[in-house]
Structure formats: C-alpha cells, structure tokens
Structure 1
Amino acid sequence: MNAPLTPADLLRGALAGLLDGLPPKQAAQAVERLIANYRGRTPTDAPILRDRADVAAYAAYRMPATFEAVRGALGALADAAPDWTPSRHTDIGGGTGAATWAVSATWPGPRPVTVLDWAEPALALGRELAGANPLLSATDWRRARIGQELTLDETDLVTISYVLGELTAEDRTAVVAAAAGAAQAVVVIEPGTPDGYSRIIEARDALVAAGFTIAAPCPHSSACPIEPGRDWCHFSARVSRSSLHRKVKGGSLAYEDEKFSYVAAVRFPAEPATARVVRKPQIRKGLVLLDLCLPDERLDRETVTKRHGALYKSARDAEWGDPWPPHPS
C-alpha cells in the first residue's frame, strides 16, 4: 500500500501545475523582475505581485524555499514544546500560503487559519493551491494592510515569514507588537543575511520585552552573544530545485540550500535546546568540531572525539541547526 502523501508532496504537486500555459521564458522573466523589485516597504497603491502570471511564477520559484525554512523553524519549536499543538494559526503577510503549508506539515490536523496579505492575486492563488491540501480547508484568505493599522484576532500561533524586510521600522514594530498581543506563540523567519538577522534580533528583543520566552533557536532568552556587525546567526534548509529554479539561476544541481534566520517565542512552558549547533559541523579524522550557542550566553567550540563513544557518532550525524546534545531517541 502506498504511503499517504505528505503536505510537502501535495505542495510540490500543486506547484508543478502552476506554470501550465505560461511560456517558460515569460515565467523566468517574471521571476527575475520580481526578485529585483520585491523589496522595500509594502506598497500603498498596487502590490508588486500584479496578476496571476506574476504570482504563479513567483510562487513556483519561492514557495518551496519558504516552506522548508518555515518548517525548519516550526520543527525547532515543536521539539521545544512537544506537548503543544496550535489550535488556531494566523499568518501575517502570508501571500500564497507557504507558512500555512509548513504548519500543516509540523502539526497535522485541520485548524482554523487566517492568512493576511495586501496582494489580492497572491491570496487568490494561495486559496487555489490550498485546495490540494485537505488540512487547509478552513483557511480564511483575507486582504489586509501589513503595518501600523494591523489588528489581529486572538490566536494560538502567529507566523511572520519573509515579511519584516518589506516594512518600515515603524511598521515592523507595530506588526510584532500586534502578534505579541494576539498569540501564545510567535515565529518570525527572515532571510539568513546580516540584515535579516538584525530584524530577527529586533523582533526577539520586542517579544522578550512583551513577556515571551525564547523556545528556539536560542538556548536562553538573554541577550544574543553574537557581536552585531561581525557575524550573524542563520541556518540552512535543503530545497529541491524545479526546472524554473535551474533556468533562472543557471544551475544544474537538483537542490539548493535556503539560508534563513528565525526566532520562536512562547507564553507557555517550553524546553529550549541545551545548546544549538550554529555552524556546519566540521568532520575531521577521529573528531568533530561543533560551534555551539550555550545557555550561559556564550558561543564556544566543542571537540568530540572517538573516545566520547556514542556521543562521537551523534556528533558525526549532527547537522547545522540541531540541538546539542541530541534529544534521546
């Protein structure tokens, strides 16, 4: 008997049919234009995603990476709070709904979901894609300005993925404050760049000030030990590349790695990782070097050798972003 399709399988299938009837060259040109222009603050007159062709091309290109990054962040939250499941979810600036798919992949089961976005074509396509996922049947796709006028109904989980970089400083502050006032858990994801990380730290500080504790990725809710301007905390998610990815980027690999920064903050009990692997482990002959963020607000490198027995095998299997030591199986 074939295994049931996962949300990731369903999303890949839904995206595969998006570009039918749209010439590949036109799709690639739309993605290139949108990548160049889809930045700055949320438009006040017309969204940059102008019509279905724009949205279809951009969704086919970006949704898989956004889905995997958000799923990575949500997975870390689920590890820190294994007994918690959101019964309601609000996705701020959700566009075509990648984060809603990631929530359904992390906590299977139907739930009321509200996706808020200013771009009506994105919401329409998100609604269309969601038809392939029975877990998203109760989703409300709602047009809303993402900024200082934003108001939210009470919910369990708020996701804000790849949104803050499009807002002014004042709008960012207002959006995070609205999320903090409405939810029991807030997860913010931004590109894994120095600027993206600075926005994550800004959101993290605001959430802690609002009474939240950090569930992931940090092993504490105190100040980040990374010195601003010298480094930044980010992680990596493996993404299968479509033919459109390869055409736009001119690459031949079947995958790429999406770099992202995130914070997951909660108002309920959670157990953060004892420590977090914050760089790709370096495997040498007979030893593994792990760069760790520690609960005493330090960054340090741990050397794990063969004499550590089972821990050495765990170190060889460890991946960037994993908790350390690993959770017992």
Structure 2
Amino acid sequence: MSDTLPAPDADTTADALRRGLAALVDGLPPNRAAQAVERLIANYRGETPTGAPVLRDRADVVAYAAYRMPATFEAVRAALGALRDAAPDWTPASHTDIGGGTGAASWAVAGEWRTGTTVLDWSEPALALGRELAAGSGGAGPSGADWQRARISTALRIGSTDLVTVSYVLKELTEADRTAVVTEAARAAQAVVIVEPGTPDGYERIIAARDLLVAAGLTVAAPCPHSGTCPIVPGSDWCHFSARVARSSLHRQVKGGSLAYEDEKFSYVVATRFPVHPATARITRKPQIRKGLVLLDLCTGHDGLDRINVTKRQGPLYKAARDAAWGDEWPPPEDD
C-alpha cells in the first residue's frame, strides 16, 4: 500500500485536513455547529475529569473536529518536528494514538512518516468520523489507520509500538488514569510524544508525565535540552510554546473577529528509548528584537534558564537570532 501513497508532506496533509473539515461543516446548520462548539468549550475548560465520552453524537464530533483538530494538528506537528530534529535518522514503522478521537495527532504523524497507525478512543462517534475523514484524504491523512474503541484508563494495555502520541487527553483523566496511561505508553513505545494545553495546569501535567517517562528509563528529546529537573520554580512560570493555526469560518463565528489565524499555546514532552541529540538550548519565549540586538530567553542543558543578548557585532549569529522563533533550538543547527 505504501507504494501507492504520496510521500509524507506536512503541508499537503494540513491542506487535506482543512478541506475535509470544511466539507463536514458545510453539512451542518451553522447554529447547530456553533452551539455544539460552545458546549464543548465549556467542558474543555472545566476542572472535573469525565469518565463518559465528551463527544456524544455526530454534531458534537463534527463541531469538535472543525474547531479543535487544526490546532491539535499544528501543536503535535511542532512536537514531532522537534523529535525529528533530535533523531533525524529515526523512522517509526508503527504508531499508537492514545485518546486520538478524530485523529488529529495521527494526521500530524501521517504528514511526517508513513506508519501503521492505531487510534484508540472511547468515543465511537469520534472514531467513526475520524475514519471517514481519513478515508477521504486521498492518502494524505492516516487512511490506513485502525480505529479501535478503548477505555483510556488504568485498564489500558497496548502492544509494542515505535511511537505513541497522547495529545490533549490527560486533562480529561483522573490522576490515577493519567499515571497509568503514561506508564503504559512508556512501557510499550520507543518514542512517546505528549501534548497538553499551554496553560499552567497543562504544564503541570506535562511535568508529571515527563517525570514518569524519565523514571521509566526514557531520555527527554524535546523540548528540554536535558533529562534533569525542570529549572522553572513551581508556581513561578510555565513552559509552553505557540503554533500558528489558520482560522475557519466556524472559528470566526464562535470567537468573533476577522483574523485569518490564531496562535495555539501548548506544552509538550518528547522522550525516547533510543539515542537522541537534544538541542543545546531552546528558546522559551518570543525573541525580543531591539535596535542592534536580540534578547533570547533560553532553557539550557547545563546552566538552567538563561537570557542572552545577541548583538549586531556577532554578524551571522545576530541574523540567525532575528530570524529565530519561540520554540527553536539555539544556536541554530549548522546546514549540512
């Protein structure tokens, strides 16, 4: 089957996802979609984990997919890019998407590699829509994925796999279920990618997951340049990043405004059982560009948090600093 599919390309995959979602929303009355999104946002921002599927029927699932899939896709895409930077020669042959719902993370993986993907979720309507979207992707999405219903809890057991993704799932689980899911991912996978909202509590869940992954013997590949204790003093700040997301007509209807994009804030961790080359340092805030200098806030491998000034006198490094983005590694890798 891989001989007949197009080569992985994240931009092509993103375009195919946008087209598929637009076609789905066109089949729903606008008010119905907007009302479903508003209810789901209230649930998403709630503090109580739920043991029941959040996505109850097709209208819920279509609204969720149109509203959240592009943002989740871009956040996971960024995390996978960091994994590729740390392990450029590694290619997964198998992938398990825990709590994958309609498959946003699986679409992101499909944009990077051709893998055998299994999507696990407890919502049958989400799985059904994910299967439908992927089947209509022309091979750009996870068209060969196996969509399986599974309860994401302490009872979860998965087979050995190269890559596990867990995106925007941990908030929906109890603490015991979170611990069990991350522990099971660490046991089964060669690489684990976990993404959560870029909020203080999302970062706390990422740190707890990171601690479990390191305790299980994995090495942090990204975003951290080390596997030691996070240098951020608990409660003083939180580590998060940003991904640019194209806004659909449904986004604009629900949120108001006319901008064609928004920025998705997310926190993440990538950890592996194979050797990786983490960044020497990572830019943890938007670079501050001033006349003749650029201020970079960094998390470093040996000196913890640091702020450096890159001045015009530094020539090529100054140009690189002006072009650098929040979340990039620093210094930039040399061209091959």
TM over 0.5: yes
Alignment equivalent of 2:94, drawn from 88, 104, 107: 88
Among residues 275, 296, 305, which one is paired with 2:311 in the alignment?
305
1:11 is aligned with what amino acid?
Answer: L
Does the alignment pair 1:155 with 2:161? yes
Structure 1 unaligned regions, length at least 5 = none
Partner residue of 1:131? 135
Q: Which runs of 5+ in 2 are unaligned?
A: 1-6
Structure 2 counterpart of 1:106, one-letter code? E
Which residue among 41, 45, 56 is the counterpart of 2:49? 41
Q: Is the 8 A contact 2:51 2:173 kept in 1?
A: no
- For 1:171, the aligned partner's letter is D
Q: Distance in 1 between matches of 2:332 and 2:324?
A: 8
Q: Give 1:50 deviation, angstroms.
A: 1.0
- Matches for 1:215-230 after TM superposition, within 5 Å: 215-230=221-236
Give % identity: 73
Indicate conservation of the 8 Å contact 2:295/2:309, yes or no: yes
Secondary structure of the corresponding residue to residue 161 of structure 2: coil
Q: Deviation digits for residues 266-321 of structure 1, max 9, x if unmatched? A: 00010000100000000000000000001015101010001101000000000000
Amino acid paired to 1:289: L
Cross-structure match for 1:206:
212
Q: Name the CA distance, whole Å, in 2 between partners of 1:145 and 1:41.
A: 14
State the one-letter code of the partner of 1:43: G
2:320 counterpart residue number: 314
Please give the secondary structure, in 2, of the residue aligned with 1:200.
helix
Structure 1 partner of 2:19: 13
| One of 172, 185, 188 as aligned partner of 2:191 | 185
Structure 1 residue corresponding to 2:38, chosen from 32, 38, 50 = 32
- Within the candidate set 259, 277, 281, 2:265 is matched to 259
Q: Secondary structure at the match of 1:211?
A: coil
Which residue does 2:117 correspond to in 1?
A: 113
CA distance in structure 2 between the aligned counterparts of 1:232 and 1:14, rounded to whole angstroms: 35
Pick one of 43, 59, 64 that aligns with 2:70.
64
Is 1:73 matched with 2:79? yes
Q: Which runs of 4+ in 1 moved over 4 A?
A: none
Cα distance, 1:101 vs structure 2: 0.5
Letter in 2 for 1:121: P
CA distance in 2, matches of 1:48, 1:168: 14
**More displaced, 126-135 or 251-260?**
126-135
SS at match of 2:111: helix
- Counterpart CA distance in 2 for 1:137 and 1:278 is 35
Aligned partners of 1:232 and 1:100: how far apart in 2?
A: 27
Task: Give the Cα separation in 2 of the matches to 1:51 and 1:126.
Answer: 13
Distance 1:106 1:154 in 2: 20
Match for 1:118: what amino acid?
W
Shift of 1:106: 2.0
- Measure, in 2, the Cα distance between the counterparts of 1:93 and 1:297: 36
* Counterpart-to-counterpart distance in 1, 2:304 and 2:98: 33
Choose which of 279, 286, 291 in structure 1 pairs with 2:285: 279
Matching residue within 237, 245, 255 for 2:243:
237
Tell me the TM-score normalised to structure 1 length. 0.96
The alpha carbon displacement at 1:105 in A equals: 1.2
1:20 CA drift (Å)? 2.1
Q: CA deviation at 1:252?
A: 1.1
Equivalent pair of 1:70/1:99 in contact (CA under 8 Å):
yes
TM-score (norm 2): 0.94
- Report deviation, 1:88: 0.2
Distance in 1 of aligned mates of 2:13 and 2:286: 27
Residues 295-304 or 141-150, more deviating: 295-304
Q: How many residues align?
A: 323
Deviation at 1:324, TM superposition (A): 0.2
